[in-house]
């Protein structure tokens, strides 16, 4: 994914959270994002690893992964995660790991959540994560539109419409496509492009199992669920 980003010669890299919590390489992930990202939000799994959230709020598999990650996390990676917040802002853009009504836990997957997100924000573009599902949702002239955003989806960043975009997930997509998902924002051209990149899923599965993490975390990667 980072190679694909480099090929586009982007000005900034933004991360919407959950650097750690499921995968077998938490420390390299923190180092890579810390080196490259201008914005990095804190996700619920990051906060769980830091001990800020009760693991009883997570599935048994997620809790087990968080406990393992706590044991292997380096002081440098921990310090980087500690510096993050679940929400952020850039000119014309509001960013949330979850949503504006709950930046940590809320999923923007229902019309109610979409309405609340538009109501509680003011910038034309709102970026959300958390669900691992790429989405493009619009509000124009009092009407809502949009939905899933598979690879190749292009969205106009128009001045007369408000947008909620979810780039999907790099490490654990959940829209049935196992490839890493990311979003390219071109403000000069007024366009957002949803992208996918192949990555070595089998090698990641092997590393998950080698570390004794729950097998279900490896299995789901093959189907992107």
Residue 78: give its domain's CATH number. 3.60.21.10
Of the two residues 110 and 129, the one the predictor is more confident about is: 129
In the predicted structure, residue 180 carries a pLDDT above the cut 80:
yes
Cα angle for residues 137, 34, 152 (degrees, 5° grid)? 30
Q: Which whole number is the average pLDDT over 2-11?
A: 95
Strands 87-90 and 135-140 come out as unpaired
Whether the predicted model's global pTM rises above the 0.85 cut: yes
State the total domains in the chain. Answer: 1
Q: What is the pLDDT of residue 187?
A: 95
Q: What is the pLDDT of residue 139?
A: 85
In the predicted structure, residue 140 carries a pLDDT above the cut 80:
no
Q: Which whole number is the average pLDDT over 143-156?
A: 91
Q: What is the pLDDT of residue 143?
A: 72
- C-beta of residue 125 within 8 angstroms of C-beta of residue 95: no
Q: What is the pLDDT of residue 158?
A: 83
Q: What is the pLDDT of residue 116?
A: 95
Query: Comparing C-alpha atoms, which of 160, 164, 121 is closest to residue 142?
Result: 160
Query: Comparing C-alpha atoms, which of 93, 112, 121 is closest to residue 16?
Result: 93
**Domain housing 179:** 2-222
Of the two residues 142 and 39, the one the predictor is more confident about is: 39
Q: Which whole number is the average pLDDT over 159-165?
A: 89
């Amino acid at each position: 994914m980072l190679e694909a980003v480099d090929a586009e010669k982007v000005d900034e890299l933004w991360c919407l959270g959950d650097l750690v919590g499921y995968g077998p390489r938490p420390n390299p992930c923190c180092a890579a994002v810390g080196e490259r990202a201008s914005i990095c939000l804190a996700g619920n799994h990051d906060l769980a690893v830091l001990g800020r959230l009760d693991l009883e709020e997570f599935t048994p598999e997620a809790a087990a992964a968080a406990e393992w990650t706590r044991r292997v996390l380096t002081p440098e990676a921990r310090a980087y995660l500690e510096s993050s917040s679940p929400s952020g802002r850039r000119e014309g853009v509001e960013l949330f790991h979850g949503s504006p009504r709950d930046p940590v836990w809320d999923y923007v997957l229902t019309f109610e959540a979409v309405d609340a997100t538009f109501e509680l924000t003011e910038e034309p573009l709102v970026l959300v994560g958390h669900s691992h599902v790429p989405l493009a949702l619009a509000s124009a002239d009092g009407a809502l539109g949009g939905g899933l955003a598979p690879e190749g989806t292009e969205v106009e960043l128009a001045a007369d419409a408000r947008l909620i975009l979810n780039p999907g997930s790099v490490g654990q997509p959940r829209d049935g496509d196992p490839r890493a998902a990311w979003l390219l924002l071109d403000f000069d051209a007024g366009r957002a492009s949803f992208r996918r990149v192949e990555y070595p899923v089998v090698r990641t599965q092997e590393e998950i199992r080698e570390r004794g993490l729950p097998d279900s975390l490896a299995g789901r990667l093959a189907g992107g669920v």
